[in-house]
Structure 1
Amino acid sequence: MDYTLLSSPLQGFTDFRFRNAQHKFFGGIDTYYAPYIRLNGKLVIKPSYHRDLLPENNTAIEVIPQIITNDADEFLFVAKYVQELGYKELNWNLGCPYPMVTKSGMGSGLISNTEKINHILDRAHSETDITVSMKMRLGYESPQEIIDVMPILDKYPLKNIAIHARLGKQLYKGGVHLDAFQNCIDTTRHKLYYNGDITTVAKFKEMQERFPTIDHWMIGRALIADPFLPSMIKNNSPEHPDNKLEVLKNFHDTLYEIYSESLSGQTHILLKMYHLWEYFSTTFSNPHKVLKQIKKAQSFRNYDAAVIEIFKKG
């Protein structure tokens, strides 16, 4: 079966700079989802969101914008905005698990509110012609939440529903709930995409066998931890290339350079790189030691020296 690989949006990580660099050095991703736009009640687009979605910043890749909201007016405002930029689809995030989001009744904290979901989808489909897709978890407290909302979702011509097969309260801990995802397949008329714990080529094949009707697969945190993974899946290659560290170093150096140009202040830039190294470190034989070296580097000079040593030791 032909399949499509998708990059799941990760707030603070998968901006256009990361997306373009991943595409240039590794490839394998067919479509990238941009991190969500959040308005917080003000119908104003932040400059950082605007830069992230500008067509000239995404010329080599296919990108789908995303919104996180529990307000129909916000949804319609962002739909009009992205359409003016030339986008035809808006993805609605009902998956974010972080407490600061869910306690506000957004992300996975909204899944149980079938009335509000229905209201927003009704206005989205009656007052705009944008294509709507969904990014969801199975629920916040229970996988029954997504089953309860499926009859509402089935009323609308959604392009697809991408489901991260965890509960919101899990954050990223514990295993995925594969039986609950199968229940979603059995319950809805909509096309489903699978997201969750695709971390190796072997794991991808395992998921393909488990869900033979699924042909769209979303890779999240593993794309940062192992940016080779999509191309390895596409090439059916369980092994990394011989020049793995060389390519990864070039990728790192590119990100370091562009974030140094776009962010202000040594502390801000090094913090950005440290968060990336929380994932990059897993590539190396001693991740804990690698991350400790990066965290100790409180200046550009020390950071540069630490990176050279890390890649030299491998």
Structure 2
Amino acid sequence: MQLALAPLQTYTDYHFRNAHLAVFSGVDKFYAPYLKLNNDGTIKNAPKIDILPKNNPHVAVIPQLMACSEPEFFIMADYIESLGYTELNWNMGCPYPMVTNKNLGAGILNKPSEIFQLFDTIFPKLKMGLGIKMRMGLESTSEILEILPRLNDYPLTEIIIHARYAKQLYNGSCDHERFLECISLTNHRLTYNGDIESKEDFDDLQVRFKGIEHWMIGRGAMKNPSLFEEIRFGIVDPGDLYRDKLARFSAHLTDSLLECNPDRGYALSKMRSYWEYLSDGLSDGKQLYRKLKKSKSIEEFHGFLAEML
């Protein structure tokens, strides 16, 4: 069994990854949020910094990129390779209209001929391993039935499937029946992603998807960073111990944010953002988050945390 943390844009950056590694355990691989180009063709700065080896000294990271053409792809792939990485992941799963309307993310999934044309030009030149993370389609999960068998013609390292179509965003249920169909259609290593928010969720899916050994968790781990430990070791921390871990996790996050950027307002904004998820995993989370949102400084924020946790 291999467990991976999903790449959530603006959330699971190196600050989060390193803090998680310092306090929690159970993750085999961390996927970095995608690199993307500016309008002038240069790579956006924040994701470039995010995957620098010096910022990920003890973390097994797979960088991700988002592109819709061969030139765009290699601007980012060449940068990733220059840092010493040997594998990257191509985001074909981002569901947001501002992305899909540009033929990026899941926006290419209803154009299979374009996908295969890109692969035909990219693979002969690519020196790194390449995996993809994808939705099951743009407008329907049935779109994957045409794409998946043809992907067997390409030397992908893995296929990660979020079991929704893009226009669902994160609403509605994952299509588990469709994922079962996918298992028999591919020769590649398949990773399941989508709505794993508890050990019970994982156990049910593991029974249902026999033979699947690779799993990716995103929002569930944002709400409960100990979820990987619970799945791997079957141990749920008592409430006091878990809340103590959350306090230490938050301290690591804040220290890392301030080391990167001394603007304490920036750290406060980021910590509010993280805790919008983290509070959701606590019985008194709504009350806690209401108080955290009122914090006027990062010191006041941690004062409220200490009081409530």
The TM-score, its normalising length taken from structure 1, stands at 0.93
Superposition deviation, residue 309 in structure 1:
2.3
* Residue in 2 that maps onto 1:270: 268
Give the letter aligned to residue 80 of structure 1: D
Whether 1:289 aligns to 2:287 is: yes
Which of the residues 201, 219, 234 maps onto 2:199?
Answer: 201
Which of the residues 281, 299, 302 maps onto 2:297?
Answer: 299
Which of the residues 107, 110, 117 maps onto 1:109?
Answer: 107
| 3-state secondary structure, aligned to 1:243 | helix
Are 1:112 and 1:149, in contact at CA under 8 Å, matched by a contact in 2?
Answer: no
CA distance in 2 between counterparts of 1:141 and 1:277 reads 32
Whether 1:143 aligns to 2:141 is: yes
After superposition, give the CA deviation of every residue in 1:125-181 in whole Å (9 maximum; x if it has no partner): 111222110100111210111112124322211111000111111111221110011
Are 2:35 and 2:48, in contact at CA under 8 Å, matched by a contact in 1?
Answer: no
* Residue in 2 that maps onto 1:231: 229
Whether 1:175 aligns to 2:173 is: yes
* Residue in 2 that maps onto 1:184: 182
Whether 1:69 aligns to 2:62 is: no
Distance 1:240 1:208, change over 3 A: farther
Are 2:136 and 2:164, in contact at CA under 8 Å, matched by a contact in 1?
Answer: yes
CA distance in 1 between counterparts of 2:59 and 2:264 reads 30
Distance 1:240 1:203, change over 3 A: farther
Superposition deviation, residue 85 in structure 1:
1.0
* Residue in 2 that maps onto 1:250: 248
| 3-state secondary structure, aligned to 1:128 | coil
CA distance in 2 between counterparts of 1:193 and 1:72 reads 25
Give the letter aligned to residue 116 of structure 1: E
Are 1:5 and 1:219, in contact at CA under 8 Å, matched by a contact in 2?
Answer: yes
Which of the residues 22, 26, 29 maps onto 2:27?
Answer: 29
The TM-score, its normalising length taken from structure 2, stands at 0.94
Superposition deviation, residue 43 in structure 1:
3.7
Q: Greater shift after overlay, 212-221 or 37-46?
A: 37-46
* Residue in 1 that maps onto 2:15: 17
| 3-state secondary structure, aligned to 1:126 | coil
Unaligned runs of 5+ in 2: none
Superposition deviation, residue 264 in structure 1:
5.2
Unaligned runs of 5+ in 1: none
After superposition, give the CA deviation of every residue in 1:64-118 in whole Å (9 maximum; x if it has no partner): 1101111111112222221111111110001111121112111111111112211
Superposition deviation, residue 18 in structure 1:
0.9
CA distance in 2 between counterparts of 1:248 and 1:140 reads 36
Q: Greater shift after overlay, 260-269 or 17-26?
A: 260-269
CA distance in 2 between counterparts of 1:300 and 1:251 reads 15
CA distance in 1 between counterparts of 2:39 and 2:146 reads 28
CA distance in 1 between counterparts of 2:152 and 2:81 reads 24
Superposition deviation, residue 265 in structure 1:
3.5
| 3-state secondary structure, aligned to 1:217 | strand
Give the letter aligned to residue 162 of structure 1: I
CA distance in 1 between counterparts of 2:71 and 2:116 reads 14
Superposition deviation, residue 206 in structure 1:
0.8
Are 1:114 and 1:152, in contact at CA under 8 Å, matched by a contact in 2?
Answer: no
Q: Greater shift after overlay, 8-17 or 258-267?
A: 258-267
